[in-house]
Amino acid sequence: MTATTPTRHRDRPAQPTSKLSFGGVLRSEWIKLRTLRSTWWCLAVMVVVIVAFGALFSTSAGFFALDGATREQQQAVVAQSVTVGVVFGQLVASILGALVITGEFGTGMIRSTFTAVPRRGAALVAKLIVVAVTLFVVSLVGLVVSLLVNSAILPAHDISVDFADAALWKTVLGAAVSIAAIGMMALALGAIIRNGAGAIASAVGIVFVLPIVVQLFMAANDSVWLYNLNEIIPPNASARLYDYVVDGQSATMLPVPEGAWTLEPWTALLVLAAWVVVLFAAAFALVKRRDV
């Protein structure tokens, strides 16, 4: 009998493990967002609402007493015509922001997402960035289209549009930022609540119900702290981003008692950023701690 000598296998070098980059996570979240039919419906409705409400406002601009109005006063009407539908755009943005993540929780797809991206925080941040950029770009397009449409309607009411007015474009940009911020808050609420109906109801409550409740308390009590609270809640803070101020007074500004806060656009942006950070921090902590 011949003895067989065992064959030696050379040690193979370990294959390098592929690391999932954050750019790859962003691309995957963008693919998921744009392949959902609900995304396109929400974005289309948002643009239509912004343009339609702006056109409706412009056709009724003749009811304003603008005889002898200054250039700034006319531009204030132009800015108001462009941004009159922003609140409804925020409503649609809040629905989209909530659906982006609650849809995955509802279908169970979130398990696949967290399996592919073990660092759950990276997936959540990628969703936030994709939603924010998408809402900002699409709402900005809708607002610019509204401005162009209104510029064709308003001259019939002796209101000229000055496209070189920097304050007008700041209003347009601020309105787009406000819509993106509301959508980001809704996304954070969706991650916290994990239920589509609950997250949408909470987001709609913040946009529509919360200002009404605070103003009801203000009607019964004129305390300074209530006015300050009314100023920093998300819908009103976002409105300060796209205020067109004439002679130190905005068209949406209520009379305030002495010592009450009045947010400037940059401080309003900081307040909105604080809301997003607080809600997102809570969502981040809960997503990391939960099993799913």
Residues 140-185 pLDDT 10s? 999 999 999 999 999 888 888 899 999 999 999 999 999 999 999 9
Residues paired with 250 in a beta bridge? 245
Higher pLDDT: 263 or 94? It is 94
Predicted confidence (pLDDT) at residue 25 exceeds the cutoff of 50: yes
With respect to residue 16, please indicate whether it lies within any of the assigned structural domains.
no
What is the rounded average pLDDT for all residues in the chain? 86
pTM of the predicted model as reported, rounded to 2 decimal places: 0.87
Residue 6: inside a domain = no
Distance of CA 182 to the CA centre of its chain: 3
**To which residue do tokens 């204030």 refer?**
76
Tokens of 103: 């849809």
Counted domains in the chain: 1
Q: Which domain holds residue 190?
A: 23-59+69-289
Reported confidence tier of residue 64, pLDDT bands at 50, 70, 90: low
Band the pLDDT of 115: cuts 50, 70, 90: confident
Burial 213-236 (b: 16+ CB within 10 A, else e): ebeeeeeeeeeeebbebbbbbbbb
- Higher pLDDT residue, 16 or 104? 104
Q: Looking at residue 248, what is its pLDDT?
A: 56
**Residue 14 placed within a domain:** no
**pLDDT given at position 137:** 97
132 assigned to some structural domain: yes
- The per-residue pLDDT for 276 is 95
Is the confidence at residue 63, as pLDDT, over 80? no
Determine contact, residues 272/234, Cβ cutoff 8 Å. Answer: yes
Would residue 83 count as lying in a domain?
yes
| Residue 1 belongs to a domain | no
In a domain, 41, yes or no: yes
Instruction: Decide if 202 is inside a domain.
Output: yes
Cα(223)–Cα(264) distance, integer angstroms = 21
Position 256 scores a pLDDT of 66
